[in-house]
């Protein structure tokens, strides 16, 4: 994408902060390395055997101690400062803003599948608007992958069996590399793609030009009926099962007294291993869907259940 | 200032009851060869079933040399493949098998045993003034175990390899890989017992077999470094053994606790793996620190600056090293709080490393320095370890790690520590003790040339990889986008130089075995008990148990400072 | 009656050798603790994540056999201690008797353990080979039983080694080929035996007791 360069583009809001830490550390390291190198060379020249400098003798005990204390404590304080500062840059990465645009990502050997909220799908590519936080909901179909965009300075492993999320905000339009950073098998090095960041209006235009498939939420609602979930979970069904409307985000009392929050993990577990957490007052009769639905379908169901959750509206 | 008072009878009666043999001074260069450990027995059996720690050290050295060149061959092929962006030399699967093989062999069959099992095995009893390790047969068993373990790995190599990376992450290793995962894991599992047995032997020997007068703060820092290493070996290795056992069973029987399809959690494996493998990094670097301390003091004719601080630094690295493993999982979905704790501790562990670097540097002050080959290696070690250590701060910082994790930046970082640090120290130590081990001198000019070549070749190979990683080049990529090519070409070119630099010592060491000048007992005029016996040492090391009555590294007499008080033995101890 | 055979050539005296042997065994025990420690970490993680399945699965274990085995093993530690004590006093017959009892109790334990495995097979509780579980989510119940077999299996291997060692020492003592009073052999053997016992003391509540109060 560019010729010889020492410096990856700073294309996200995280990038300048990461780089500030990086260059501070680089300056400090360069100083320390050069200082040590200088002293090594200087001492080796000045105190080479046969030189006129004064050899031998002992630096007094007191000075020993002062030196030791000095070069233990000074680095410690510098390191503590650096740690605090660097860690402070990182807090935000763990808390995606509420208004983020949510895009779902499925990693599999060896491709990235992405899907926009409007149902537009891409493979090994992702178009995003600049100036808006993007939150990725990522799942893996097989082994561990890692979603890495160097120009954004972000990376997150996509661990199978978990709902992984990350967020970023692009600030400059352009095409950026997407890599899989966690070794995932034979064609690991081909599991790459392009992130295209564009101004919001262009993004809107691009979205319109795409064939809109079913949205994730719509797919989830369809699966809910097709897989027969509605037979029990709808009021008036033949078998009594907990209603799903208003469930997401709220507390769920379990058989046995515990209370859990209905989050992504709870929904995933309830679909794949229904017996693991049985809602209080219901019988453990739901069959497991492990093996009969794939990660993409699971994600759709989660999206739909979330959309009808506490405070959410069906979309 | 004689370190030893022995059967010659000068002074106290340490060896009065022992059988007295002719002393080294009488034997000089023309001593009877028959007494040396090398000639104490003949035939293959006298080697393969020896319980002499010195012979076992030689067996280890030969074994790991073989593995070093197999692993090096894999590295050569990797660098050749990466010369161009396209995957044109080997297939993608072939490439994956190459870097896995390179990692597995270099970590478990070269770096972990490199210094402890060769130099450590040879020198520990000598430096302590003991006749052998505490458990000589256990020592022999360690070597046999690593041979068996190596056989597993060679089997894997011959049958077609394994492609999981040396990290064996689940569920790739348990479910998706097509390689010989079980055999490779079994090999590492067996090698783990070898490591544990070695570590146990070293700790017990250091505790119970020090010569009279050698109290804990007179022990050479090389022994301290081996002791700290052994602690890590003992407490970390069993966790790896267990984790790999679980991987093998999961792959063979389809039941287990890591694959999410079985209800397991792959991150649990990462935790167990790094609980071993991060401390293992210190298994690989601490002995190097010990070697460098011995060399720097000898070639600068100085006592080590801050002996006790060096000891505490070693021990604190060994202990804190157990609590930083989570920095390998900053982007694996670890909670923010876990990330903060591990990041903090990773910064903390840099402090003792910094102390060591400063102390080595300060030791040179007012020295009388000779830049012989071992010293060149030691100075190279200090420089490269400083860079490796400082880049460790980068990857300990959360925001930077999020960017450079699993890129070439990490590759460069750990090669600076492992290869720039450990391998430099290993070569330095090999040169330093070569006369003691073989009784021959190596050719000094060649050795200096090789040391410089290694330093430049190394930097040329691995410095560009820092830039690659910072630019975003992920590791373990068979093909790569063309904007990275410049740095890959530089790196590959450096690897050629580095490869040549590694072959040189092999050549002149072999040459010196036959044509090298016979070495005197103490060619460097060094301190330390190992120099007080013949070169090569007799089977039981010392004519009689030596007695120690001076500090370590007594290269210059304690001076009476202007203040008047004699700063003798308690020098450098912190006033409590 | 200092027996020169008892002193290996690398040591100066018997005291040093004894110290080395005992220290060596203690260090070995530390590595063993870490070995089991990793497994127990796995146990803790899944028990924390899936308590319901865990309790349901643990309720199906054979608590009677487990408890009986605990009693047997604890008793064997007593007889082991008696053997060490008798060794210090140089009472050969007492040593052989106590060691014999220890080995017998250990064998009893293994016998009961084997019967327990047989019952587990009968109840379809063997992960991977024959597993059916209705009472809770079977996947995580299977993980429980997997860890159960792994932990008790590794423990049984250790116990087998320990019994073999006891029998070898018993034979050597009986035939007078071991300077048992001077050497650290009995002490070291005892340490190992007690480790096997202590591991079981951890395993018993972790395997048999969860979920029993409900």
Q: The CATH number of the domain where B220 resides is what? A: 1.20.210.10
CA distance B254 to chain C (A): 6
Q: Rounded distance, CA B526 to CA B293, Å?
A: 12
Q: Name the residue range of residue B227's domain.
A: 44-532
Residue C30 has pLDDT above 80, yes or no: yes
CA distance C7 to chain A (A): 45
Residue B243 has pLDDT above 80, yes or no: yes
Quote the pLDDT of residue A6.
Answer: 67
Q: Rounded distance, CA B241 to CA B188, Å?
A: 8
Whether A21 and chain B come into contact, CB under 8 Å, resolves to yes
Quote the pLDDT of residue B574.
Answer: 40
Beta pairing class for A134-140 and A101-108? parallel
**How far is the CA of A167 from the CAs of A133, B419, B549, in angstroms?**
7, 37, 65
Whether B357 and chain A come into contact, CB under 8 Å, resolves to yes
Q: Which residues pair with A129 in a beta bridge?
A: A198
Q: What 8-state DSSP symbol labels residue A184? A: -
Q: Which residues pair with A3 in a beta bridge?
A: none
Q: Rounded distance, CA A309 to CA C158, Å?
A: 53
Residue B371 has pLDDT above 60, yes or no: yes
Q: What 8-state DSSP symbol labels residue B538? A: B
Q: Domain tally for chain C?
A: 1
- Between chains, do C20 and B131 touch, taking CB under 8 Å as contact? no
Quote the pLDDT of residue A154.
Answer: 93
- Of A14, A150, A159, which is closest to B472 when you measure between CB atoms? A150
Whether A273 and chain C come into contact, CB under 8 Å, resolves to yes
> What are the tens digits of pLDDT across the range B31-55?
444 478 888 888 888 899 999 999 9
CA distance A272 to chain C (A): 10
Q: Domain tally for chain B?
A: 1
> What are the tens digits of pLDDT across the range B66-123?
999 999 999 999 999 999 999 889 999 999 999 999 999 999 999 999 999 999 999 9
φ/ψ (deg, to 5) at A107:
-100, 135
Quote the pLDDT of residue A304.
Answer: 84
Work out the pLDDT band at B22, boundaries 50, 70, 90.
very low
> What are the tens digits of pLDDT across the range B267-302?
999 999 999 999 999 999 999 999 999 999 999 998
Q: Are A301 and A148 in contact (CB under 8 A)?
A: no
Q: Is the dihedral of CA B460, B462, B463, B469 positive or negative?
A: positive
**How far is the CA of A246 from the CAs of A238, A251, A252, A309, in angstroms?**
21, 10, 11, 4
C107 within some domain: yes
**How far is the CA of C193 from the CAs of B282, B509, C29, C114, in angstroms?**
33, 49, 10, 20
Q: Rounded distance, CA B66 to CA B72, Å?
A: 10
The domain ranges of chain A are 14-94, 101-209, 216-307
Q: Which residues pair with B232 in a beta bridge?
A: none
Q: Is the dihedral of CA C130, C134, C137, C143 positive or negative?
A: negative
Is the peptide bond prior to B536 cis by the omega test (within 30 degrees of 0)? yes
Work out the pLDDT band at B21, boundaries 50, 70, 90.
very low
Residues of B with Cβ-Cβ distance to A92 under 8 angstroms: none
- CA end-to-end span of chain B, whole Å? 29
Q: Which of B520, B379, B373, B396 is nearest to B445 (CA)?
A: B373
Q: Rounded distance, CA C79 to CA C73, Å?
A: 10
- Between chains, do C52 and A284 touch, taking CB under 8 Å as contact? no
Beta pairing class for A125-129 and A193-198? parallel
SS (H, E, C) B383-446: HHHHHHHHHHHHHHCHHHHHHHCCEHHHHHHHHHHHHHHHHHHHHHHHHHHHHHHHCECCCHHH
Quote the pLDDT of residue B25.
Answer: 36
Burial class (CB in 10 A: 0-12, 13-18, 19+), B539: middle
Reported ipTM: 0.91
- Between chains, do A33 and B390 touch, taking CB under 8 Å as contact? yes
Work out the pLDDT band at B568, boundaries 50, 70, 90.
very low
B301 within some domain: yes
Name which of B72-86, B439-453, C106-120, C175-189 the model is least confident about.
C175-189
- Between chains, do A75 and B575 touch, taking CB under 8 Å as contact? no
Residue of B142, B239, B251, B257 to mutate for C, most C C-beta atoms under 10 A: B257
What is the share, in percent, of chain C residues with pLDDT greater than 70? 97
Quote the pLDDT of residue A61.
Answer: 60
Q: The CATH number of the domain where C178 resides is what? A: 1.20.120.80
At the top level of CATH, the class of A216-307 is mainly alpha
Chain C touching partners, 3 or more CB pairs below 8 A: A, B
Apex B202 CA angle, B196 and B207, nearest 5: 130
Residue B346 has pLDDT above 60, yes or no: yes
C32 within some domain: yes
Q: Name the residue range of residue C134's domain.
A: 12-208
Quote the pLDDT of residue B16.
Answer: 35
- CA end-to-end span of chain A, whole Å? 39
Chain A (229-268) residues lying within 8 Å, Cβ to Cβ, of chain C: 254-256, 258
Q: Rounded distance, CA B194 to CA A88, Å?
A: 44
Q: Which residue of C has its CA nearest to B545?
A: C12
**Backbone dihedral region for residue A50 (phi beyond 0: left; psi -120 to 50: alpha; all else: beta):** left
> What are the tens digits of pLDDT across the range B426-435?
999 999 999 9
Whether A270 and chain C come into contact, CB under 8 Å, resolves to no
User: For the domain bounded by A101-209, which CATH number is listed?
Assistant: 2.60.40.420
Quote the pLDDT of residue A249.
Answer: 81
Q: Which of B145, B140, B149 is nearest to B121 (CA)?
A: B140
Element holding A214 (H helix, E strand)? none
Q: Where are the beta strands (DSSP E) in chain C?
A: 125-126, 130-131
Distance of CA C134 to the CA centre of its chain: 32
Average pLDDT of the residues of chain B: 88
SS (H, E, C) B450-514: HHHHHHHHHHHHHHHHHHHHHHCCECCCCCCCHHHHHHHHHHHHHHHHHHHHHHHHHHHHHHHHH
Residue of C49, C51, C52, C138 to mutate for A, most A C-beta atoms under 10 A: C52
Chain A (71-110) residues lying within 8 Å, Cβ to Cβ, of chain B: 71-72, 75-76, 79-80, 82-83, 86-87, 89-91, 93-94, 109
Residues of C with Cβ-Cβ distance to B131 under 8 angstroms: 9-10
> What are the tens digits of pLDDT across the range B431-488?
999 999 999 999 999 999 999 999 999 999 999 999 999 999 999 999 999 999 999 9
Q: Which of C197, C150, C137 is nearest to C43 (CA)?
A: C150
- Between chains, do B242 and C23 touch, taking CB under 8 Å as contact? no
> What are the tens digits of pLDDT across the range B156-177?
999 988 999 999 998 999 988 8
Residue B321 has pLDDT above 90, yes or no: yes
B18 within some domain: no
Chain B (390-409) residues lying within 8 Å, Cβ to Cβ, of chain A: 390-391, 393-394, 396-400, 402-403, 405-407
- Of A254, A255, A273, which is closest to C137 when you measure between CB atoms? A273
B151 within some domain: yes
Name which of A101-105, A251-255, B347-351, C53-57 the model is least confident about.
A251-255
> What are the tens digits of pLDDT across the range B494-533?
999 999 999 999 999 999 999 999 999 999 999 889 999 9
Whether A205 and chain C come into contact, CB under 8 Å, resolves to no
Q: Which of B331, B263, B104 is nearest to A144 (CA)?
A: B331
- Between chains, do C51 and A290 touch, taking CB under 8 Å as contact? no
Please list, in sequence order, all residues whose beta carbon lies within 8 angstroms of the beta carbon of residue B313, skipping any fewer than 6 positions away.
Answer: B352, B353, B355, B356, B359
- Of A55, A146, A151, which is closest to B366 when you measure between CB atoms? A55
- Between chains, do B366 and A53 touch, taking CB under 8 Å as contact? yes
- Between chains, do A273 and C139 touch, taking CB under 8 Å as contact? yes
Q: Which of B185, B187, B182 is nearest to B154 (CA)?
A: B187
> What are the tens digits of pLDDT across the range C131-165?
888 777 788 888 999 999 999 999 999 999 999 99
**How far is the CA of B446 from the CAs of A296, B373, B513, C73, in angstroms?**
63, 9, 15, 65
**How far is the CA of A86 from the CAs of A8, A90, B87, B372, C32, in angstroms?**
20, 7, 38, 42, 39
Average pLDDT of the residues of chain C: 90
Is the peptide bond prior to B171 cis by the omega test (within 30 degrees of 0)? yes
Q: Are C73 and C197 in contact (CB under 8 A)?
A: yes
Per-residue b/e over B140-175, b at no fewer than 16 CB within 10 Å? Answer: bbbbbbbbebbebbbebbeeebbbbbbbbbbbbbbb
Whether A287 and chain C come into contact, CB under 8 Å, resolves to no
Looking at chain C, how many residues does it have? Answer: 214
Residues of C with Cβ-Cβ distance to B263 under 8 angstroms: 50, 137, 139-140, 142-143
Chain A touching partners, 3 or more CB pairs below 8 A: B, C
Q: Rounded distance, CA B167 to CA C13, Å?
A: 46
Task: Return the number of CB contacts < 8 Å for A and C.
Answer: 26
Q: Is the dihedral of CA B278, B280, B284, B289 positive or negative?
A: positive
Q: Rounded distance, CA C200 to CA C69, Å?
A: 9
B40: helix, strand or coil: coil
Q: Are B254 and B307 in contact (CB under 8 A)?
A: no
C2 within some domain: no
Q: Rounded distance, CA C117 to CA C121, Å?
A: 6
- Between chains, do B255 and C41 touch, taking CB under 8 Å as contact? no
Q: Per-10-residue mean pLDDT for chain A, 315 residues long? A: 65 91 93 94 90 72 75 89 84 83 92 89 92 93 93 94 91 93 93 94 90 81 83 75 82 80 83 79 79 82 82 42
- Between chains, do C20 and B203 touch, taking CB under 8 Å as contact? no
């Amino acid at each position: 994408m560019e010729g010889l360069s020492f410096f990856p583009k700073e294309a996200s809001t995280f990038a300048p902060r990461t780089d500030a830490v990086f260059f501070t550390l680089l300056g400090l390291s360069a100083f320390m390395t050069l200082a040590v190198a200088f002293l090594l060379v200087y001492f080796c020249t000045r105190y080479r055997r046969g030189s006129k400098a004064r050899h031998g003798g002992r630096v007094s005990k007191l000075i020993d101690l002062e030196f030791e204390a000095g070069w233990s404590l000074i680095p410690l304080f510098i390191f503590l400062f650096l740690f605090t500062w660097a860690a402070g840059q990182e807090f935000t990465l763990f808390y995606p803003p509420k208004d983020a645009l949510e895009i779902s990502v499925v990693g599999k050997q060896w491709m990235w599948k992405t899907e926009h909220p409007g149902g537009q799908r891409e493979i090994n590519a992702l178009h995003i608007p600049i100036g808006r936080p993007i939150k990725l909901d990522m799942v893996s179909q097989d082994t561990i992958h890692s979603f890495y965009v160097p120009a954004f300075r972000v990376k997150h492993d996509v661990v199978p069996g978990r709902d992984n999320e990350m967020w970023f905000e692009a600030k400059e339009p352009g095409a950026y590399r997407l890599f899989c950073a966690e070794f995932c098998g034979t064609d690991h090095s081909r599991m790459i793609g392009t992130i295209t960041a564009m101004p919001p209006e262009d993004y809107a235009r691009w979205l319109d030009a795409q064939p809109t498939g079913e949205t994730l939420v719509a797919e989830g609602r369809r699966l809910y009926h097709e897989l027969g979930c509605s037979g029990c979970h709808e009021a008036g069904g033949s078998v009594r099962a907990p209603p799903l409307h208003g469930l997401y985000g709220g507390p769920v009392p379990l058989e046995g007294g515990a209370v859990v929050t209905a989050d992504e993990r709870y929904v995933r577990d309830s679909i794949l291993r229904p017996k693991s957490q049985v809602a209080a007052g219901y019988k453990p009769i739901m069959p497991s869907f492990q093996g009969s639905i794939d990660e993409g379908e699971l994600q759709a169901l989660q999206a739909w259940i979330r959309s009808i959750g506490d405070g959410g509206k069906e979309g | 200032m004689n370190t030893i008072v022995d059967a010659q009878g000068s002074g106290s009666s340490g060896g009065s009851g022992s059988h007295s043999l002719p002393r080294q001074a009488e034997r000089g260069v023309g001593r009877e060869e028959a007494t040396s450990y090398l000639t104490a027995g003949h035939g293959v059996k006298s080697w393969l079933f020896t319980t002499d720690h010195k012979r076992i050290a030689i067996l280890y050295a030969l074994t790991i040399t073989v593995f070093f060149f197999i692993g090096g061959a894999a590295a050569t092929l990797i660098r050749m493949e990466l010369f161009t962006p396209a995957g044109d030399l080997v297939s993608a699967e072939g490439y994956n098998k190459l870097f896995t093989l390179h990692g597995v062999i270099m970590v478990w069959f070269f770096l972990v045993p490199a210094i402890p099992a060769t130099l450590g095995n040879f020198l520990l009893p000598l430096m302590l003034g003991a006749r052998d390790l505490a458990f000589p047969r256990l020592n022999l068993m360690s070597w046999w175990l690593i041979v068996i373990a190596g056989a597993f790995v060679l089997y894997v190599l011959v049958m077609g390899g394994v492609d999981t990376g040396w990290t064996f992450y689940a569920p790739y290793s348990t479910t998706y890989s097509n390689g010989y995962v079980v055999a490779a894991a079994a090999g590492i599992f067996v090698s783990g017992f070898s490591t544990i047995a070695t570590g146990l032997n070293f700790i017990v020997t250091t505790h119970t077999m020090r010569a009279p007068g050698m109290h804990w703060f007179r022990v050479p820092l090389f022994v301290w470094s081996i002791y700290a290493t052994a602690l890590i070996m003992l407490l970390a290795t069993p966790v790896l053994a267990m984790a790999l056992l679980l991987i093998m069973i999961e792959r063979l029987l389809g039941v287990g606790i890591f694959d999410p399809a079985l209800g397991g959690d792959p991150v649990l494996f990462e935790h167990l793996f790094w609980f071993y493998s991060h401390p293992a990094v210190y298994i690989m670097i601490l002995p190097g620190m010990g070697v460098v301390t011995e060399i720097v003091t000898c070639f600068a004719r100085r006592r080590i600056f801050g002996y006790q601080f060096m000891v505490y630094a070693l021990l604190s690295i060994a202990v804190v090293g157990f609590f930083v493993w989570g920095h390998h999982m900053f982007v694996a979905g670890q909670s923010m709080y876990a990330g903060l704790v591990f990041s903090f501790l990773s910064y903390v562990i840099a402090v003792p490393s910094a102390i060591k670097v400063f102390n080595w540097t300060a030791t040179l002050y007012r020295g009388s320095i000779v830049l012989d080959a071992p010293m060149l290696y030691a100075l190279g070690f200090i420089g490269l370890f400083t860079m490796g250590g400082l880049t460790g701060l980068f990857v300990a910082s959360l925001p930077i790690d999020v960017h450079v994790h699993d890129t070439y930046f990490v590759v460069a970082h750990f090669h600076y520590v492992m290869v720039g640090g450990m391998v430099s120290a290993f070569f330095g130590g090999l040169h330093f003790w070569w006369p003691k081990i073989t009784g021959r001198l190596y050719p000094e000019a060649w050795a200096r040339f090789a040391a410089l070549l290694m330093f430049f070749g190394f930097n040329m190979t691995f410095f560009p990889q820092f830039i690659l990683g910072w630019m975003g080049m992920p590791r373990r990529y068979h093909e790569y986008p063309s904007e990275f090519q410049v740095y890959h070409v530089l790196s590959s070119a450096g690897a050629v130089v580095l490869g040549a630099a590694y072959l040189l010592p092999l050549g002149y060491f072999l040459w010196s075995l036959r044509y090298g000048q016979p070495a005197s007992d103490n060619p460097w005029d060094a301190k330390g008990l190992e120099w007080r016996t013949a070169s090569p040492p007799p089977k039981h090391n010392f004519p009689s148990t030596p007695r120690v009555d001076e500090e370590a590294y007594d290269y210059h007499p304690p001076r009476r400072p202007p203040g008047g008080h004699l700063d003798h033995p308690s020098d450098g101890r912190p006033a409590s | 009656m200092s027996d020169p055979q008892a002193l290996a050539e690398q040591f100066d005296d018997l005291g040093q050798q004894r110290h080395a042997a005992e220290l060596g065994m203690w260090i070995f025990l530390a590595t063993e603790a870490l070995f089991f420690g990793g497994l127990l970490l796995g146990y803790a993680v899944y028990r924390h994540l899936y308590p319901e399945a865990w309790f349901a699965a643990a309720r199906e274990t054979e608590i009677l056999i487990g408890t009986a085995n605990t009693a047997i093993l604890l008793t064997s530690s007593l007889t082991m201690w008696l053997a060490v004590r008798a060794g210090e006093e140089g009472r050969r017959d007492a040593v052989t008797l106590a060691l014999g009892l220890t080995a017998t109790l250990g064998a009893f334990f293994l016998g009961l353990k084997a019967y327990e495995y047989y019952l587990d097979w009968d109840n379809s509780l063997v992960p991977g080979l024959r597993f059916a579980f209705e009472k809770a989510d079977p996947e995580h119940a299977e993980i429980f039983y997997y860890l159960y077999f792994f932990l008790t299996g590794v423990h049984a291997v250790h116990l087998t080694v320990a019994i073999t060692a006891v029998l070898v020492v018993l034979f050597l003592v009986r035939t007078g080929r071991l300077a048992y009073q001077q050497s650290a052999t009995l002490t070291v053997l005892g340490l190992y035996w007690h480790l096997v016992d202590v591991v079981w003391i951890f395993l018993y509540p972790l395997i048999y007791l969860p979920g029993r109060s409900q």
